[in-house]
Amino acid sequence: MTTTSQLSSADASMARFEKQTSRYGSITMLIGLVLSLIGPIYIAFFSGLEITSTMIWVAFLTVAGTFGVLWFVEPLTYFPILGSAAMYQAFMIGNISNKLLPAAIVAQSTIGARPGTKRGDLAAVMAICGAATVHLTSLLLFVGLLGTWLVSMIPADVIDVARLYILPSLMGAVLVQCIVAMKSLRPTVIAIVLALVMNFVVVPMAPAIGMFATAIVVIASIVFSWGLRDRKKIHTSES
């Protein structure tokens, strides 16, 4: 009886947490949107630069043509790992793929929380809080106070090498951590095969679709993983 009441209390607390984060997360995102638009609106209408609506739409379509696919790919990719509450944090803070997502994955893996579960969602929230705190503290110390001095002390060759290899090394570490945390061999193999085919076969044959390669691989991975899922395992777990 005590266990049942504790579980129901935990479920009620989690439901209240998700409801409140959805409410205040939406409000915070709207406030952030308004604040981020104040500068461009001032420049467009009050700076005297004679920016026309045509110029604004051309700039918007140019950016949308390059990055618009990420508007759909990133939420679909990040949500299964981060959960709803951490998604509000992540898109407000930024640097999701190279900072917040690795922090969430490492936290979930450390405590043995599977992504997509309530425990995994809470781990992602706490990990993002920690990552943001460390990031702001390091910015204040190593950029705000010591930035110019540190850069002058680092050899130029080291900086060039860091710029070349740091992003691939980060993405490689995140990929391996995702594979270890998810423990789903079939979807992993499907995603890797599709990415290799896209990168080494499809894009060289049709370079024009290069900017949509990530979106195509993500959607194709979802479709193929669903179509080739282990139906026996699903039926066994359901029974």
- Note the pLDDT tens digit of each residue in 55-86: 888 888 877 766 777 788 788 888 888 888 88
In a domain, 31, yes or no: yes
Q: With 70 as the cut, is the pLDDT of residue 93 above it?
A: yes
**113 and 35 within one domain:** no
In a domain, 136, yes or no: yes
Q: Name the token pair of 32.
A: 């952030």
109, 56: one domain: no
Q: Is the pLDDT of residue 118 over 50?
A: yes
Q: State mean pLDDT over 86-97.
A: 87
User: pLDDT for 145-201, tens place per residue?
Assistant: 887 787 778 887 877 777 778 777 777 777 777 777 667 788 888 888 998 999 899
pLDDT band at residue 6 under the 50/70/90 scheme: low
Q: Is there a single domain that holds both residue 74 and residue 61?
A: no
| 151: in domain | yes
41 in the same domain as 105 = no
Domain around 49 = 17-68
Q: How far is CA 220 from the centre of its chain?
A: 19
User: Is 24 part of a structural domain of the chain?
Assistant: yes
Counting the structural domains of the chain, the total is: 2
Same domain, residue pair 73 and 138: yes
Dihedral (CA of 132, 136, 142, 148) sign:
positive
pTM to 2 decimal places: 0.63
Q: Are residues 76 and 97 in the same domain?
A: yes
237 in a domain, yes or no? no
Query: How high is the pLDDT of residue 238?
Result: 47
pLDDT at 215 over 60: yes
Residue 231 resides in a domain: no
C-alpha distances in Å from residue 145, one per residue of 120, 135, 152:
36, 14, 14
Choose the final residue of a domain: 127, 155, 183: 155
Give domain status of residue 202, yes or no: no
| Whether the Cβ atoms of residue 88 and residue 25 lie closer than 8 Å to each other | yes
Instruction: Examine the fold and report which residue of 52, 68, 84 is the final residue of a domain before the chain moves on.
Output: 68
The rounded mean pLDDT for the chain is 82
Domain assignment present for residue 192? The answer is no
The residue behind tokens 């570490």 is 173
